[in-house]
Amino acid sequence: MAKRSVLTFVAVLTLSQTAGAEPTVPTLTKGAVKDGVQGSEVGAEGAEWVVPGGPVVRAEAGAVLRLHPTPQPLLLGPGAKVSGYTLIVRSGKVEVSAPRKARSAVVVVGPRKHGAIVRHGVFRIAALEGSTALANVDGETSLSIQEGPYRPLAAGHVFVATTSAQGSRKLALSPSSVQGSRLLLSETARARFAGLSWEAVPGAAGYRAELIDEGTGRVVAEAEGAETTLPSSFEPQSVGRYRLRVWTRDPSGIANTHPFESALQIVAVESPPGAYRDSSGVYRLGIDQRLSLRGAEGLEMSFGKGGWISASKSLGMSRDELRTVLLRLPGAPDHVSLKMAPRSVRSVIEISPRNAVWPKDRIEIRVRLEDPSGRPVPAFVKANPRVRLNTQQLNVPFSRDGKWLRAVIAPKRGGGPWVLRVDVEDGARQSLGYDFVEIASVPSEHRAEVTPRTTVRRTTASRR
């Protein structure tokens, strides 16, 4: 008879129900199990069954159990007659949840002849080597000790039986808050929430943390242990909204059912071409440029005055000065700062002689970059000089001479005067400055005269 029951159970698990229809027998809906002598062993990803009448059974990986397909009538009080489905737990951790108006109950049979009837709410059992724990996390559950009469087990309590003692106690509460940056700004569109922490809870032997992607509802990262801080191994995540859930675990291994939850969010800060973030974390923008905030939906922002408003998808400079924007999750007491300022890197251009006369003088051009604030010029900002003579673009080769780029313009004959202009841009075609000189021409009878040469060093501010 026992063998036939196991085979029937396995057959039931392989049946698929019509989409949207309530099952007529306990039905495996997630995960996989392997039939064995003691029952069905749950696979590596856990398993879930839907029971007729509303209850749901969830088992962690490695649990061994048997869920009988045939119900038995239960009389749980005057006029409270329901169908009861028997769940035998040999080992491992199993949860039974049922809505308040469930039309059936689950009769749980654990090791050492301890059992429970789950009417509604959340019940958990941890059948481990040397101990059995049965917990009414929330709802209505009756407990039977060593096949004794069923008596109510108060919500939020766990009964633990070991080889030497047994008794009940309260389950540990959840943490009440989380510390650390819950809103992350990233230039790479990925960030890691590692480092978030919560307070230690009295009576908790450990914690379980899950990170849920709000868009998909999927658990994308998890950690379990005695630490109250998310580990550095927590996987980086992409732009989007997330939710952190933290459960406490009783020394018996039972987790409470009401985890602490906190909203989290990752926003990508995307700079336009030529903009950059300096060594102090300030975004440097050119004129009319804007930072894009991808994934900022639902956030609030403030400029330090006038309260909080819905966050924009992009931010620009309002004046030629430092601007600080505060961003936060809706109603949160903490915030992150994003600072913007005009581009400070500019070119230093030297053209000599300043009073050149053609065809007598050749002209030397030298260009380098500097940041008047004293910060180093970012390595990716390169000077690209362009030289024009009147309206003609000249193809002038520049060579590196230490920090300088150097070029020489040979003199021309006749047709003056001329205007020689040097424009310096970066790789994104953003202006870093310009300079020019006027070049005179002299009649042929005066070309033998010597004109003194002078060198003027001119620093040109960026037009951004």
Using one digit for the tens of pLDDT, what is the confidence trace for 45-73? Answer: 999 999 999 999 999 999 999 999 999 99
pLDDT classification of 269: cutoffs 50, 70, 90: very high
pLDDT classification of 459: cutoffs 50, 70, 90: low
Average pLDDT of the chain, as a whole number: 88
CA distance 155 to 296: 40
pLDDT computed for residue 213 by the predictor: 96
pLDDT computed for residue 9 by the predictor: 37
Residue 62: CB partners within 8 Å, gap ≥ 6? 41, 42, 91, 92
Q: Cβ(284)–Cβ(341) under 8 Å?
A: yes
pLDDT classification of 460: cutoffs 50, 70, 90: low
pLDDT computed for residue 255 by the predictor: 87
Q: Which residues of 138-176 are buried (b: 16+ CB within 10 A; e: fewer)?
A: bbbbbbbbeeeeeeebebbbbbbbeeeeeebeebbebbe
pLDDT classification of 96: cutoffs 50, 70, 90: very high
- Could you report the per-residue pLDDT of 242-260, keeping only the tens digit for each? 999 999 999 988 988 789 9
pLDDT computed for residue 452 by the predictor: 46
Per-residue H/E/C for 364-378: EEEEEEECCCCCCCC
Nearest to 256 by CA among 86, 138, 426: 138
pLDDT computed for residue 445 by the predictor: 56
pLDDT of residue 13 exceeding 90, the answer is: no
pLDDT computed for residue 458 by the predictor: 52
pLDDT computed for residue 343 by the predictor: 87
Q: Which residues of 186-224 are buried (b: 16+ CB within 10 A; e: fewer)?
A: beebebbbbebebeebeebebbbbbbbbeeeeeeebebe
Of 306 and 265, more confident: 265
pLDDT computed for residue 462 by the predictor: 45
pLDDT of residue 30 exceeding 60, the answer is: yes
pLDDT of residue 31 exceeding 60, the answer is: yes
Strand partners, 300: 310, 328
pLDDT of residue 285 exceeding 70, the answer is: yes
pLDDT of residue 41 exceeding 70, the answer is: yes
CA distance 268 to 343: 21
pLDDT of residue 12 exceeding 60, the answer is: no
Share of the chain above pLDDT 70, in %: 91
What is the pTM for the complete model shown? 0.72
- Could you report the per-residue pLDDT of 187-210, keeping only the tens digit for each? 998 999 988 999 999 989 999 999
- Could you report the per-residue pLDDT of 371-423, keeping only the tens digit for each? 998 888 988 899 999 999 999 999 999 999 999 999 999 999 888 899 999 99
pLDDT computed for residue 256 by the predictor: 83
Please name each of the domains of the chain with its CATH number. Answer: 2-170 (2.60.120.1440), 178-266 (2.60.40), 271-342 (no CATH), 346-460 (2.60.40.10)
pLDDT computed for residue 446 by the predictor: 54
Nearest to 205 by CA among 139, 128, 263: 128
- Could you report the per-residue pLDDT of 422-458, keeping only the tens digit for each? 999 998 888 899 999 999 987 655 544 544 444 445 5
- Could you report the per-residue pLDDT of 162-181, keeping only the tens digit for each? 989 999 999 989 999 999 99
